[in-house]
Amino acid sequence: MNDLDQFGVTADGFVVKGIDRIIADQQARARAMFGSDVDLTSGSALRKVLDAAAVHVQELWRGLEAQYYANFATTAQGPALDLLGTDLGLPRQPLQATGEITLTLAGAEPERRFVLPQGTVIETTDPPRKRLRTTAPVRLSAGDPAVTVGVQAVDRGPEGNLPARRPLRLEPTWAQLHLNLGPATVTPANPAPIVGGELVEPDDVYRARLLGVPRTLWTQDAVLARILDVPGVRDAAIFDPYGGVDASHSRFNTYLFGRRPFSAQRQTGSPYYFDVVVAVEPGWPWRPSDGAVPAVHDAVLDIVRQWRPVSIFPNINPANQVDVGIRATLLIQAGHDPDAIKGEILSAVQAGVDRLRLGRGVLHSDIVLAARATAGVVDVQNLRLRRCAPAFGDVTLDGAVFGNAQELSVGENLVLAPDEIARFALDSPLIDLQVLSQ
């Protein structure tokens, strides 16, 4: 039997028998049963019965193919993928409701401008309180007192949905810590409902989560996978210096065994600690005292407690956020809007930086490609990356820079330490783009 005669489960997967092969096999069986002279022309009654049966047989083959591929996370879809997630103890997550709100400034000084950063927390005034986070920075002034901005619910699921025209306010604790409004007030309003919490994550997102689930109880990957599912966590890293040999250190392969102890002996009963560094999304508080939104530190601590072995304890620290900026000269074609080109480039750079994980630096070439891919840009000249001094964190694992800002040379990449994460804000003072028309 050659490969063309193999159907069903094979070494290359499931092979469906085609409708033409099904019809040919049925006609061959009809000739074997009724004789070689049986009438199988297109107008015969027997031929019509066989053709109708072939359609149903083809559907049966397609059902068998779907059932076969439903057993694997890489190919399962819909309810079949849900069943695989149930086996792994990882159900499909509901989405966060989204929509738009209007922020209105009142009582501001004529020449003063206010910037509400991405992640500004807004809540309903009446209990039960529902909280939202803005998805972009907002600028308000007396001359432009009303701005519409996108929002996303803090809670996943239908409980994050919000009917239209609900009384809203800035979350008081968050506003006190992050804003300096003075006598001015900012009033949010949602003229349209905030919806979408009743939906669930699509198959491709859910499949990626299932494929990343470790099959062991205690490994760095197993704990990390649970931490990344905590609401408000942008990225995380686990540093376990005694969990394995780190060949990247200069002292590796230079130790003289037999001349001195390898390390101080741990006393019996003393706990063992490992470090967890967590990068938080904008607007999420680190400690419960930072706002009414569930604190990331406590949520991560609860997760790690469930997965750590006995006498193994975590040191949970916030990542050092590094503000990134750029300085360059753009040469554009005549007739193009310079502001529109600058806005498109900055949005592309922000999207690229937001995808970076802990310790991943910003590449000079990526910024150049993002700028040159913008319609109307002829050339990018003298592009330099900038970094602001990161907020001083509780942990410095390898090479973090504190207390100074830097402007790198042309072509130099921005390198980050393992406990640093890049952030690019559209309204950052580190951005300096000069535009010249050709």
Give me the DSSP letters along 355-407.
Answer: T--TTPPBPHHHHHHHHHTSTTEEEEEEEEEEEPPPPP-S---S----S--EE
Q: Would you tell me how many other CB atoms lie within 10 Å of the CB of residue 272?
A: 13
**φ, ψ for residue 84 (rounded to 5)?**
-65, -40
For residues 429 and 329, state if they share a domain. Answer: yes
Domain containing 43 equals: 3-69
Same domain, 131 and 229: no
Give the per-residue pLDDT at 389.
56
- Domain co-membership, 32 together with 135: no
* pLDDT value of residue 279: 94
From 32, 53, 69, the end of a domain falls on 69
Tell me which of 172, 189, 206 is where a domain ends: 189
Strand spans (E) along 126-184:
131-134, 138-141, 146-156, 168-170
Examine residue 421 and state whether it is found in any structural domain, yes or no: yes
Instruction: Give the pairing of strands 113-116 and 138-141.
Output: antiparallel
| Residues 413/368, Cβ–Cβ less than 8 Å | no
The pLDDT, as a whole number, for residue 397 is 45
CB crowding 398-408: b at 16 or more within 10 Å, else e:
eebbeeeeeeb
Cis upstream peptide for 318 (omega within 30°): no
Residue 237 covered by a domain: yes
| Residue 132 resides in a domain | yes
| Residues 232 and 339 grouped into a single domain | no
As a dihedral over the C-alpha atoms of residue 206, residue 212, residue 213, residue 219, rounded to 10 degrees, the angle is: -160
Quick one: angle between helices 45-69 and 19-34, nearest 10? 130
Please tell me whether residues 169 and 182 are part of one structural domain.
yes
Q: Are residues 364 and 334 in the same domain?
A: yes
We report the CATH number of the domain holding residue 286 as: 3.30.300
Backbone conformation region of residue 412, classed left if phi is above 0, alpha if psi is from -120 to 50, else beta: beta
The domain tally of the chain equals 4
> Is the domain of 341 the same as that of 326?
yes
CA-based nearest residue to 201, from 96, 80, 86: 96
Decide if 82 contacts 89 (C-beta within 8 A): no
Please tell me the pTM assigned to this model. Answer: 0.70
What are the φ/ψ torsions at residue 173 (nearest 5 degrees)? -65, -45
Task: Kindly state whether residues 287 and 222 are assigned to the same domain.
Answer: yes
pLDDT value for 382: 92
- The residues facing 332 across adjacent strands are 377, 437
**Do 109 and 142 lie in a common domain?**
yes
Residue 260 confidence (pLDDT): 46
Q: Is 204 inside a domain boundary?
A: no
Point out the residues of the chain with pLDDT beneath 50.
Answer: 1-2, 244-249, 252, 257-264, 266, 390-403
In-domain check, residue 349: yes
For 411: left if phi > 0, alpha if psi spans -120 to 50, otherwise beta; the answer is left
Domain-embedded: residue 253: no
* Residue 17, in any domain of the structure: yes
Query: Which pLDDT score, from 0 to 100, does residue 9 have?
Result: 82
Domain boundary among 262, 290, 318: 318
> What whole-number distance in Å separates Cα of residue 344 and Cα of residue 337?
11
Q: Where would I find the beta strands (DSSP E) of 171-287?
A: 185-189, 233-239, 272-280
308 three-class SS? coil
- Tell me whether residue 307 is exposed, middle or buried, using C-beta atoms within 10 angstroms of its C-beta: 0 to 12, 13 to 18, 19 or more: middle
Q: Report helix, strand or coil for 278.
A: strand
Residues 313 and 327 in one domain: no
Based on the domain organization, do 415 and 398 belong to the same domain? Answer: yes
Residues 218 and 293 in one domain: yes
Secondary structure class of 153 (helix, strand, coil): strand
Residue 144 lies in a domain: yes
